[in-house]
């Protein structure tokens, strides 16, 4: 099943022909549910930061995990983004079409002895607080059992500077352990796919919610193992409901109404603590977005990991 790399096979497709230096941002929804105010904030923040920097804004559909997906959600998310005036600049990339690229990266990491096969059960991992360290000897002799593929981490602390959260450091060995690149059920892991596709799409700036802040050192470490460039990162606070839960399908976050697009955008801008638009600017979606691009300021966004939704937002 695991095909080692041959000498002339392409290690990982990096879209090598061109390497644009200018700003390229992205919004990468998982189609597990419909767009809600939390995901609109993410779409808007990444869009405004790209446009305020004369950049391109891409949309990538992270449809990696079909059992968790909602039928029709991917198409509806794209319709909702368009209804909110958030128009992407290139063709949408679907992760369901990218399995070969993910497998190539895994093959490379295994050939270079950086990744390994693991058959540990949840119960086995519980005894080490779910931190897996060191190679699984067992799997090497039992290749027919279900196995995951993990990346071996090292003991160096990994630090980066986030545009909002500032300096952030993690010790992967102590805090995360050898992490999964392909799951036992054979689905590719988010951590792998996001790194391969950020590189493939030449993303220079990642603007996303703070729930992914602690995934970032794993992504930077993986970029380093694959020889890929690390983009700039910016993690804004996530919006929570009154029970302090991140909005999601599981917490019954209401889907956005496209009839209320202008109000939705104003609420998202207010959450990001951007200045309120003039009455003239707030007349249409396009004029509101133009105004917001012109007045966009990352410095206004609070350095918090989470903020409870204002009472004006119906949840």
Q: For binding to ligand GLU (CB under 6 A), which residues are involved? A: 28-30, 62, 194, 208, 212
Shortest distance, CB of residue 186 to ligand GLU, whole angstroms?
A: 19
Task: Select 86 or 118, whichever has its Cβ closest to ligand GLU.
Answer: 86
Shortest distance, CB of residue 283 to ligand GLU, whole angstroms?
A: 32
Task: Select 28 or 105, whichever has its Cβ closest to ligand GLU.
Answer: 28
Task: Select 248 or 270, whichever has its Cβ closest to ligand GLU.
Answer: 248
Shortest distance, CB of residue 39 to ligand GLU, whole angstroms?
A: 7
3-class DSSP string for the chain: CCCCCCCCCCCCCCCCCCCCCCCEEEECCCCCCCCCHHHHHHHHHHHHHHHHCCCEEEEEECCCCHHHCCCCHHHHHHHHHHHCCCCCCCCCEEHHHCHHHHHHHHHHHHHCCCEEEECCCHHHHHCCCCCECCCCHHHHHCCCCCCEEEECCCCCEEEEEECCCEEEEEEHHHHCECEEEECCCCCECHHHHHHHHHHHCCCCEEEEEHHHHHHHHHHHHHHHHHCCCCCEEEEECEEECCCCCECCCCCCCCCCCHHHHHHHHHHHHHHCCCCCCCCCHHHCHHHHHHHHHHHCCHHHCCCCCEEECCCCCCC
Shortest distance, CB of residue 201 to ligand GLU, whole angstroms?
A: 12
Shortest distance, CB of residue 202 to ligand GLU, whole angstroms?
A: 15
Task: Select 30 or 266, whichever has its Cβ closest to ligand GLU.
Answer: 30
Task: Select 60 or 104, whichever has its Cβ closest to ligand GLU.
Answer: 60
């Amino acid at each position: 099943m695991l095909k080692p790399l041959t000498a002339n096979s392409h290690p990982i497709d990096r879209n090598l022909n061109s390497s644009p230096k200018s700003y390229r941002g992205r919004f990468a929804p998982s189609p597990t549910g419909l767009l809600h105010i939390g995901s609109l904030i993410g779409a808007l923040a990444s869009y405004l930061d790209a446009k305020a920097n004369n950049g391109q804004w891409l949309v990538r559909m992270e449809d990696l995990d079909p059992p968790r997906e909602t039928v029709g959600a991917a198409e509806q998310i794209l319709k909702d983004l368009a209804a909110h005036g958030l128009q992407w600049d290139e063709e949408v990339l679907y992760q369901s079409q990218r399995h070969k690229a993910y497998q190539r990266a895994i093959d490379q990491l295994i050939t270079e002895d950086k990744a390994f096969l693991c058959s540990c059960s949840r119960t086995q991992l519980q005894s080490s607080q779910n931190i897996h360290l060191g190679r699984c000897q067992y799997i090497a002799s039992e290749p027919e059992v279900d196995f995951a593929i993990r990346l071996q981490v090292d003991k160096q602390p990994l630090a980066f500077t986030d545009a909002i959260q500032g300096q952030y450091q993690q010790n992967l060995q102590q805090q995360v352990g050898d992490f999964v690149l392909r799951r036992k059920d054979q689905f590719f892991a988010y951590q792998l796919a996001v790194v391969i596709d950020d590189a493939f799409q030449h993303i220079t700036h990642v603007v996303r919610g703070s729930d992914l802040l602690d995934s970032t050192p794993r992504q930077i470490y993986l970029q380093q193992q694959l020889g890929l460039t690390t983009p700039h990162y910016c993690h804004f606070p996530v919006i929570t409901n009154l029970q302090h839960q991140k909005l999601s399908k599981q917490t019954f976050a209401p889907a956005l109404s496209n009839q209320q697009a202008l109000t939705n955008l104003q609420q998202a801008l207010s959450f990001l603590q951007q200045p309120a638009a003039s009455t003239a600017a707030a007349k249409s979606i396009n004029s509101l977005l133009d105004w917001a691009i012109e007045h966009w300021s990352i410095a206004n966004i609070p350095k918090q990991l989470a903020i409870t939704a204002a009472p004006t937002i119906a949840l």
